[in-house]
Amino acid sequence: MPDQTLVADHYTHGGLLGAIEAGLATLGKTAASVSLDELAPVDEFHIGGRAATRSFLDQLDIGAADHVLDVGCGLGGASRFAAHTYGCRVTGVDLTREYVDTGNVLCAWVGLSRRIALEIGDATALRHPDGTFDRAYMLHVGMNIADKDRLIAELFRVLRPGAKLGIYDVMRVGDGDLTFPVPWATAPQGSAVAPVAAYKAALERSGFAITAERNRRDFALDFFAQLQAKVTGAEGPPPLGLHLLMGSSAPTKVKNMIDNISRQLIAPVEIVAEKPA
């Protein structure tokens, strides 16, 4: 069962903003000239990156008047995409201070600070009042949170009646020991991967009605094959990419993810649910 310090330490880079700035310089870009799409290779830390974000968030019917909660927002890539694409206001919450601080800088770079606020916080004990948000989503977050019931109950609390919740997590789909390290954990004690049924049961116990479910296994294998080729290519990894977040162990983490998914132990799964009106 991972504790919060272990999780935050796993994701802390120590010089992330500088690494991103160096990558931009290699691309001939600066903080003043970089675009939202140009940041996407490094700020969308989940399987499928921007393509997955778009396909997932489109299911939530987000409108310009909505206040959206990004649970485990990381660098805020999905927050920036949502604010830019749907015109909504976004609050992001994450345990890792470096991610939050760097993410707020990136929001300023692309002119979205007025519509996005990234905050340090615990998704199982949010500071926000009941019924604050019109939509909520989490992309690859639950693998670090053991108490799924507490997590889902808290999201139910802060959503208004009629609101939608989207979950896109790596979930258990088969029995067997996972190979570590993986992007969300260096060793088993940092991982809290749970079966699809556990998420669905937690959602239903909290009062949500599940409206959609999709297994993205094939999509994931294709994504990781492409990522592996980039990281281990003859010319080396690109200036901006998820390898900056995963560090020197990136090739091993990608290889292990391909192995774990190929053995049908885990898969990225989307679940969409609604809080009754």
**Is pLDDT at 1 greater than 60 in this prediction?**
no
Domain span at 223: 4-274
78 within 8 A of 70, measured Cβ to Cβ: yes
| H or E element at residue 168 | strand 159-172
CA distance 171 to 168: 9
67-83 residue pLDDT tens: 999 999 999 999 999 99
Q: How many percent of the chain have pLDDT more than 70?
A: 98
Q: Which pLDDT does position 3 carry in this prediction?
A: 81
220-252 residue pLDDT tens: 999 888 877 776 665 778 899 999 999 999 889
Give the chain's mean pLDDT: 95
Tell me the CATH number at 129.
Answer: 3.40.50.150
82-124 residue pLDDT tens: 999 999 999 999 999 999 999 999 999 999 999 999 999 999 9
User: What's the pLDDT band for 39 if we cut at 50, 70, 90?
Assistant: very high
Q: Which pLDDT does position 226 carry in this prediction?
A: 83
CA distance 209 to 38: 37
Q: How many CA atoms lie within 13 A of 195 on its CB side?
A: 7
CA distance 101 to 75: 8
The domain total for the chain is: 1
119-161 residue pLDDT tens: 999 999 999 999 999 999 999 999 999 999 999 999 999 999 9
